[in-house]
Structure 1
Amino acid sequence: MATITDTSGSPRAPAHDPKPRPRRTVRFNSAYLFVAPSVVIIAVFIAEPIIQSAWMSLHNWSVGAASNPYTGLANYRALWHDSRFWQALRVTVLYTVGVSVGQVLLGLAIASRLRRTTWYSALLRTAYFFPFVASLVVVGIVWKFLLDPQVGLIDAWLGDLGVTDPPQWLQSTSLALPTVIVVGIWKNVGFTMIVLLAGMQQVPADLYEAAMLDGAGPWRRFTTVTLPALRPALLFTTLIATVTGLQLFDLVFSMTGGGPVFSTESVVMYLYEKGFVEFQMGYASAIAWVLFVIILAVSALQLKIARNRDGD
């Protein structure tokens, strides 16, 4: 700032700004107080265990061990050569594909038949949706008793029909997994039906009327009007079914326990055995991270395919 001088040449004090700048005040946003409990819960019960599991997967971490030495990627290399893990992954993929395709196709067929709102369609919607509300463990236990070769109702009904040698549904290595897949479809088809039914009811009736005027039959109207309108709902239900199927545990744990001879053992069930039965937490954490990467990659692939179709 330049010094101001008078006519005699003697310096004078500099002139002050008549309008001083206002001071900046920091205001506390009360919204942080409402967000803080959720942030703390997420950090303690979600973020910290995720970070801890990643750290444990790089160690030979065993419960009760005196030391847990760092091993780097040794757990992942051992997992790559673990034939039982690959068998569990095969079972998980087969279950996921079977249940996802089955419940989407069956749910789409049921939703198409129950689209009109009548008293019996409302009753059937409730009946189809009811199994989805039930717990997976409860469903597994009920079906285990129904399929029991000694006291099960399924084999008893087959015997009444003249079948003298009914199938060993859960005791056969070739039938156990298909049986679990059928139960999984029965459990989840109600959810898919409700989502697709809601999507169908959002389709404008004018589109169907225009298609009928053009001479389109029921199947043509379904493929050209209904299916394109249901694309977001189909993507949502397929994605949910895929992610849920890859996390298969409760159903096989309550129905078969992973047997017979590991024919129904899933990746999560193998993780459970390594972590909470054998207490090899480092190896179990590696299994969890591999499964997480698989789920993330499959979900990203499905979303990318859906975006490409929307672009076309």
Structure 2
Amino acid sequence: MRARRRGERPAVAYLFLSPWVLGALLLTVGPMLASLYLSFTDYNLFTTPNWVGFANYRRLFADDPRFHAAVWVTLKYVLIATPLKLAAALAVALLLNRVSAASGLYRSAFYAPSLLGASVAVALVWRVIFDTNGVVDHALAAVGIDTGGWVSSPRFALLTIVGLSVWQFGAPMVIFLAGLKQIPGELYDASAVDGAGWWRTLFSVTLPMLSPVIFFNLVLETIHSFQAFTPAFVVSSGRGGPSDSTLFYTLYLYQKGFIEFRMGYASAMAWILVLVIALITALIFRTARSWVFYQGEVSR
């Protein structure tokens, strides 16, 4: 009787796991494999896919200057927005960690923009603020600076989207704040006894002990930055302008797949993005060995 019940347990486990397994196969693994196949075809959604081998990949790297522009714009965005967002989140978390009165109110206020997410409504409001005759344009004109609107300027359009990303620093801020609460107070007491100032304590105690959290936020925000789409789509009205200055990789992928109906070409772009994100994530993990410190770990 006992042996029979033991034999029944795996079957029951598989029964409860079956919805997740079916969902993963039908909604994730299946579409991924289908897009991998389509990346080697000429497919426009209306006709049978025509196998072309690596032609889509060769055309991307050799014959598509807008693809190169999209790669460059996305890299600039990742390199600028990610560190600025993490720096803002860490700075506010350090301040909130020292605030005792009304700390819950401050945390909620700083976290509120992240609740809105990358919504179309927020991006539309952001565009109005930075557009010609917007609030920012009027404020700068009052002090003698005429930009003609940030959104319509090739020099400032990308910075507009960077500003929107940095403004929504609430999620990494909360994670940083949780990490700061876990740092033992004895370390700060020892630092004070040794006569270390605020800056020395920050770089010798706080940041090393917070390095696992910094690593976690860095990985997540880097991936999110590569996948950014909605702000660029709304701010540029789906065109990536002016002069392709906001032509994000995902936006160009959308144009190829759902405007020009070159779904095979878009699938090839999608798989290149997957591989790039995987390589950069692996690189971050590899470098983490030299700067991430875990409490209780023996010094290397």
Do these two structures clear the TM 0.5 threshold for a shared fold by scoring above it?
yes
In structure 2, how many angstroms separate the alpha carbons of the residues matched to 1:88 and 1:250?
15
Structure 2 match to 1:141: 124
1:78 aligns with 2:78: no
Deviations 1:65-85 (CA, angstroms, capped at 9, x unpaired) = 3x4221111110001121111
Note if contact 1:147-1:153 (Cα within 8 Å) is conserved in structure 2.
yes
Residue 288 of structure 1 deviates from its aligned partner by: 0.2
Aligned twin of 2:98: 116
Q: Does 1:127 align with 2:78?
A: no
What RMSD in Å do the two structures reach over aligned CA positions? 1.9
Q: Any idea what SS the aligned residue of 2:41 has? A: coil
SS, match of residue 288 in structure 1: helix
Query: Are 2:130 and 2:160, in contact at CA under 8 Å, matched by a contact in 1?
Result: no
Hey, what's the Cα distance between the residues in 2 that align with 1:93 and 1:164? 29
The reply to whether residue 61 of structure 1 matches residue 26 of structure 2 is no
After the TM superposition, which segments of 4 or more aligned residues of structure 1 sit over 4 Å from their partners?
Answer: none
Which has the higher mean CA deviation after the structures are superposed, 270-279 or 191-200? Answer: 191-200
Matched, 1:168 2:149: yes
The correspondence of residues 143-162 of structure 1 with structure 2, limited to 5 A, is 143-150=126-133, 152-159=134-141, 161-162=142-143
Residues in 2 aligned to 1:26 and 1:203: alpha-carbon distance in whole angstroms: 47
Secondary structure of the structure 2 residue equivalent to 1:119: coil
Measured in 2, the distance between the counterparts of 1:87 and 1:289 equals: 18
Residue 98 of structure 1 corresponds to: 80
Match of 1:263 among 222, 242, 245: 245
Distance across 2 between alignment mates of 1:282 and 1:164 = 46
- Cα distance between partner residues in 2 of 1:192 and 1:52: 34
Paired AA for residue 205 in structure 1: G
| One-letter code aligned to 1:248 | A
Q: CA offsets per residue over residues 164-196 of structure 1, 9 Å max, x none?
A: 734420001111011211111112x22221111
Displacement after TM superposition at 1:267 (Å): 0.8
Distance in 2 (CA, whole Å) between partners of 1:51 and 1:89 is 24
The Cα offsets for residues 68-125 of structure 1, whole Å up to 9 and x where unpaired, read as 2211111100011211111101111111111111011121111111112423443222
Unmatched 5+ stretches in structure 1: 1-21
Match of 1:34 among 5, 10, 16: 16
Gap change, CA 1:266 and 1:203, over 3 Å in 2: same
Q: Counterpart in 2 of 1:48? A: 30
1:179 aligns with 2:160: yes
Offset at 1:215? 1.0
Q: Give runs of aligned pairs for residues 187-266 of structure 1, distance below 5 A.
A: 187=168, 189-256=169-236, 257=238, 258-266=240-248
Tell me what 2:295 maps to. none
Letter in 2 for 1:62: N
2:279 pairs with 1:297: yes
Identity score, percent: 36
Q: What does the per-residue CA deviation read over 1:207-235, in whole Å, with 9 as the maximum and x for residues that have no partner?
A: 10011111111111111110011001000
TM-score (norm 2): 0.90
Contact 1:99 1:241 in 2 (8 A): no
Gaps of at least 5 residues in structure 2 are 293-298
Give the distance between the partners of 1:241 and 1:135, measured in 2 at CA.
Answer: 13
Equivalent residues of 2:43, 2:50 under 8 A apart:
yes
One-letter identity of the residue aligned with 1:84: R
- TM-aligned CA deviation for residue 127 of structure 1: 1.7
Contact 2:82 2:225 in 1 (8 A): yes
Q: TM-score, normalised by structure 1?
A: 0.87
**Structure-1 residue corresponding to 2:296:** none
CA distance in 2, matches of 1:61, 1:210: 65
Q: How far is the alpha carbon of 1:308 from its aligned partner?
A: 3.5
